[in-house]
Structure 1
């Protein structure tokens, strides 16, 4: 299910009556007497209200109170004088403000220190020693291949060896000009293999399709940030051009001339045996620490702890990992970096996960263009589709696994992916909340005590009433049963199933299985998916994707970059975890689960943003620009419309119902003209909108004709199957972008065209 980005902000008034205002925003009065009295009453008050806009909230304003300058002037004029009075009062006011801050800084406890989050309380439960340990574990494991600085607040006092960065040469600046080294270090010491940046291009005459990424290549996300960071006023359009050219996706159409070194972001790591240059640190990158009072001996000084919480006990982390260049691996796949895509789906299989899987086969190096015995040299990514067949708050059924596959076999949208040709790359897994949470070491002993907040996302908590549990067999998955814990098969999958619910209650929030309209979201499943993505990535490793995601290119270079990442929430400096990459059993994962446990098990992306910000760990969960995965988002929120990317969507519905004035583009440009350069596209829900309204069934050719017939019969029940005829005149005249992408992916499975890299499927 999609990330819970649909939850509306609460719309509440500020509690004050509105004053009459004219069209120009100025106050109006019924008479001059009323205006005079109003002005006089305000001039006599010591404080006056001031309304200021709230950043990011257009419909509300914040009401503050400030000293009334008129009253101050009236008070000081007869006592001190016209010139000295205002100056003296201003000096006293500034002195009072400075005194308050100094007093709070000097004597205030950590829980009472002020934060800059506009009233949001801190979520931090780990002390500085633990934060340093987390940074150390991730860096030494090769999960920080970046030159970005470590926050000074972490307080590292020695330069850590970074096996994911190449060594640097010693500084040549004379020692008398170098800043003195201090105990606070904000950079790492490169101790890894050299990088060779690639010029990826199709070579003539084979320029009809872009080349596959080089196996083992790595995307330098530092370079991508330089060209794509919205905070630095970078345009999505320009970012996509850099991604196209640097990735070789401009095959045969390179119009830029000159050296492209600044746009090269893909590199290969040389084998360690090929170089002997020692790693050295540049002292110019060491900054002096912030002065600390000699009386301040608190090791956690400057950190703001969660109110009412105690510092967590030290984390128990596994030994750091060994960073190994791809060229030094004994096999194509790195066991510590499994290439697993995870997706979570609730309810009957529809055209939405169907298209996600088709786009995976169309873009990723699944080896479908070679025979099985020729694919041993490939590291094929696997797509794990996690199915939660019933409502989110149900007790598992021992027969659920068999029931799930029975339903998949008879579902025309799902059955094609059970074909033996896809068995090595597409795997259906059955979700069991109890089994999954028990599989997280950081949660297994304590999560049952938080059953009241299990469905918690962004502070929105949904409780399952006891009477619902009894009358409808809808039970919180916190209830552990023998059936839910001991019904796995040989692959470790657990068995669960939806319970029978009355059809009259199928639209009740507790009984929904999917979002069938714009007004009936399956909120429980969406909230559950917010947590499921972190559980899956922490337990198994890999990348989680929301089900409203479509692949647009090979992710080889992103697999090569071994750090964790999500992407930006449009204009806000927050995470959107519709794409989430995390390493298996990492220190970052341990931090997130222990922190969430102390904050109501809240995994909403906005809340996760607070976790990492409060702990100064944002660098370990990189916030990539949304241009890489969600290129239309800024345009839908009225940003960058002066230079939009192609296609130009002003709302997400344009993907399904392309406006008439732009509807020539999908057929004329096709897949190659759809946000070319981006890694994926996120269409933000719209579960109820078909991709192809005029042909709302799988169209995969003779091998899957049985499913097509069943879906056709359901889509057109009034037409006799013998009268089915595909006439061009019956098709929609202007095809939408959603339709064009669906038909493109289906044509590859049918064998009518190759995939995006010019490879034909081999059956």
Structure 2
């Protein structure tokens, strides 16, 4: 028999010079699993609260007896750390109401309200209408047995199928493309050329060179945008062959291919199984007949009535230098033809619609609101120049009326009065009802709220401390309403145009852009087609989610329904080139000018003021379509 103690070759306790009875007695005297702890009760001196806590000594002893001294001690130690971490995490989460973890995007409840067959019909409608001119894959989860026919792309070899056996691409039946090599011609080499009328941007190429998810740099993306559009006339020996940088093309005239698709056939459907059932009955989404994709060369006139070239902007309160700068940059960059005696018949002139909400977002316009609006614009030094007859066909001021606009959306008109209008990301601002409103009119008013600077009474943001949150929430909804009703592109008022959008208008799909580093939408730029299936989906879904049009919520709508490719999330390099730098990304290779904060747009740091590419407008994020300075004053 060896010396007293534990045998090293066994993890079980063995006692020398002892019997089985002594071993059992030793185990019997182990401490209990839980020990009582007495805590004082606040305000009660005669009694104490008795609770039971796990006995650390018993846990350690049991782990040693079961796993051995070394392994058992290690298990006990790591278990103790795990308990401390979990306790700290729960304390951090639930200790105070002021400390809340943000809701994880993937953990939010699903916003999906349609069955798979409805989602298939939405995809078919958009593709058949030419609103998906992309070779990128489509979600296999939709269950297409037959690849949808796509008039927006030229024919190519048969599309492949995904791992589940369903189609994950479309079948091109559209016109051929000729990619352009754009350069300045003699006598005009000092200035970049205007885009060719009817040219189209290939956003597949843009995504290949600019997608942040694939670790592409904004600086390199801007170089591709400049070179492909002929905006950079400088010689660059290191560039070599630029064929892969050509992203602007012309579509040939209609070749007679059947470009219309009036919905899927029965063989193209996959019946929705029980796993796609939403939990409540949702009527099938009503959709009109798909549009016919018409190349520019086959249009009877330069302007396509199905794709109007209208820029929308929403403004609340007195007109200031901010929307003035946006309109001036529009006139400076877009091909309006105002310098010509007669408009060029080959050019589709874009228009700028400035929507004015003259009072607080929650107020009801008075009957003379239109006349009052124009009277104020005439007296305003920032707005009055644009009322000159010279701009009558280009710049239009329009009164925003919430009731009229929402009643003009078929998907909303019967239900919007039963919803909260001011919902942003699930945060609802309640508006008290005016007792003097007529019976049946449920639109609220802020007229009875005390305090002129109350959040309900603010009409426009005059500074960061008097931020008009209500109007911002209203504008989140207004941009979708305007694009769905009238078509075109919405831009926030803190936007500066940097180049002609001719080729971007040629791309018929819907798009917004990326929220900096996050795979979410920023709808400061939003393009949608008039009365589209995608728009119907968004409004129907928003109704089920209390009219929440916050960009983050829109990201959930499209993600849950596998519709993200239909609302393309463009890289922010195209519209917001400084955003990544301001959040401390890509500073090892920044674009020019090198902004580390949005305020740098107004007061350039001295250390950056001498950078060669930052001199003048010509070097300001050249290649980008616009610049968004994020509401700084």
User: Fold-level match, TM-score > 0.5?
Assistant: yes
What residue number does 1:549 align with?
495
Q: Check the 8 A contact 2:173/2:258 in 1, yes or no.
A: no
**Does 1:626 find its partner at 2:589?**
no
**Does 1:463 find its partner at 2:430?**
yes
What residue number does 2:406 align with?
437
Aligned mates of 2:337, 2:439 — CA distance in 1: 42
Deviation at 1:251, TM superposition (A): 2.6
What residue number does 2:384 align with?
415
Cα deviation digits, residues 47-83 of structure 1 (max 9, x gap): xxxxxxxxxxxxxxxxxxxx99999886565357799
Aligned mates of 1:68, 1:370 — CA distance in 2: 90
Query: Where do 5+ consecutive residues of structure 1 fail to align?
Result: 1-43, 46-66, 87-114, 172-177, 279-291, 482-497, 690-763
Match 1:152 to one of 113, 134, 140? 140
What residue number does 1:312 align with?
282
**Does 1:371 find its partner at 2:341?**
yes
Deviation at 1:622, TM superposition (A): 0.4
Q: Check the 8 A contact 2:118/2:285 in 1, yes or no.
A: yes
**CA 1:649–1:454: 2 relative to 1, 3 Å:** same
Cα deviation digits, residues 115-146 of structure 1 (max 9, x gap): 98453111111110111111111011100011
**CA 1:75–1:515: 2 relative to 1, 3 Å:** same
What residue number does 1:648 align with?
594
What residue number does 2:116 align with?
128
Deviation at 1:256, TM superposition (A): 4.8
Match 2:190 to one of 208, 231, 250? 208
**CA 1:170–1:522: 2 relative to 1, 3 Å:** closer
Deviation at 1:520, TM superposition (A): 1.1
Provide the secondary structure at the position in 2 that maps to 1:406: helix
Aligned mates of 2:410, 2:104 — CA distance in 1: 33
**CA 1:517–1:181: 2 relative to 1, 3 Å:** closer
Q: Check the 8 A contact 2:432/2:446 in 1, yes or no.
A: no
Aligned mates of 1:547, 1:133 — CA distance in 2: 35
**CA 1:345–1:262: 2 relative to 1, 3 Å:** same
Aligned mates of 1:673, 1:318 — CA distance in 2: 46
Q: Check the 8 A contact 2:431/2:446 in 1, yes or no.
A: no
Aligned mates of 1:380, 1:150 — CA distance in 2: 34
Q: Check the 8 A contact 1:634/1:640 in 2, yes or no.
A: yes
Deviation at 1:375, TM superposition (A): 2.7
Range with bigger deviation, 662-671 or 411-420: 662-671
Aligned mates of 1:277, 1:336 — CA distance in 2: 19
CA-based RMSD: 3.3
Query: Where do 5+ consecutive residues of structure 2 fail to align?
Result: 1-32, 35-53, 74-102, 260-269
Q: How does 1:688-703 map to 2 (within 5 A)?
A: 689=633
What residue number does 1:753 align with?
none
What residue number does 2:169 align with?
187
Q: How does 1:563-578 map to 2 (within 5 A)?
A: 563-578=509-524
**CA 1:425–1:477: 2 relative to 1, 3 Å:** farther
Deviation at 1:505, TM superposition (A): 2.7
What residue number does 2:248 align with?
266
What residue number does 2:293 align with?
323
**CA 1:347–1:667: 2 relative to 1, 3 Å:** farther
Cα deviation digits, residues 584-639 of structure 1 (max 9, x gap): 00000000000000001000000000000011100100000000000000011010
Cα deviation digits, residues 651-690 of structure 1 (max 9, x gap): 111111111222345997210010000000000012xx3x
**CA 1:346–1:474: 2 relative to 1, 3 Å:** farther
**Does 1:197 find its partner at 2:179?**
yes
Deviation at 1:395, TM superposition (A): 1.4
Q: Check the 8 A contact 1:646/1:674 in 2, yes or no.
A: yes
**CA 1:399–1:189: 2 relative to 1, 3 Å:** same
Q: Check the 8 A contact 2:152/2:174 in 1, yes or no.
A: yes
Q: Check the 8 A contact 1:338/1:542 in 2, yes or no.
A: yes
Q: Check the 8 A contact 1:393/1:476 in 2, yes or no.
A: no
Q: Check the 8 A contact 1:549/1:682 in 2, yes or no.
A: yes
TM-score, length basis structure 2? 0.80
Q: Check the 8 A contact 2:614/2:620 in 1, yes or no.
A: no
Aligned mates of 1:229, 1:637 — CA distance in 2: 17
Q: How does 1:218-257 map to 2 (within 5 A)?
A: 218-254=200-236, 256-257=238-239
Q: How does 1:497-508 map to 2 (within 5 A)?
A: 505-508=451-454
Aligned mates of 2:410, 2:373 — CA distance in 1: 28
Q: Relative contact order: is structure 1 or structure 2 higher (C-alpha 8 Å, sep ≥ 6)?
A: 1
Q: Check the 8 A contact 1:201/1:211 in 2, yes or no.
A: yes
Provide the secondary structure at the position in 1 that maps to 2:456: helix
Aligned mates of 1:611, 1:188 — CA distance in 2: 23
What residue number does 2:581 align with?
635
Aligned mates of 1:610, 1:634 — CA distance in 2: 22
Match 2:129 to one of 141, 148, 159? 141
Q: Check the 8 A contact 2:446/2:456 in 1, yes or no.
A: no
**CA 1:671–1:85: 2 relative to 1, 3 Å:** same
TM-score, length basis structure 1? 0.67
Match 2:530 to one of 584, 590, 595? 584
Cα deviation digits, residues 150-183 of structure 1 (max 9, x gap): 1121111111110001001469xxxxxx989975
Provide the secondary structure at the position in 2 that maps to 1:649: coil
What residue number does 2:45 align with?
none
Aligned mates of 1:394, 1:426 — CA distance in 2: 26
Which has the higher Rg, Structure 1 or Structure 2? Answer: 2
Provide the secondary structure at the position in 2 that maps to 1:121: coil
Aligned mates of 1:270, 1:69 — CA distance in 2: 79
Cα deviation digits, residues 426-468 of structure 1 (max 9, x gap): 1111000000000000010011111xx21001111111124xx
What residue number does 1:527 align with?
473
Q: Check the 8 A contact 1:393/1:475 in 2, yes or no.
A: no
Cα deviation digits, residues 24-48 of structure 1 (max 9, x gap): xxxxxxxxxxxxxxxxxxxx89xxx
Match 2:65 to one of 65, 78, 81? 78
**CA 1:644–1:258: 2 relative to 1, 3 Å:** same
Provide the secondary structure at the position in 2 that maps to 1:634: helix
Cα deviation digits, residues 511-543 of structure 1 (max 9, x gap): 111111111100110000000000000000000
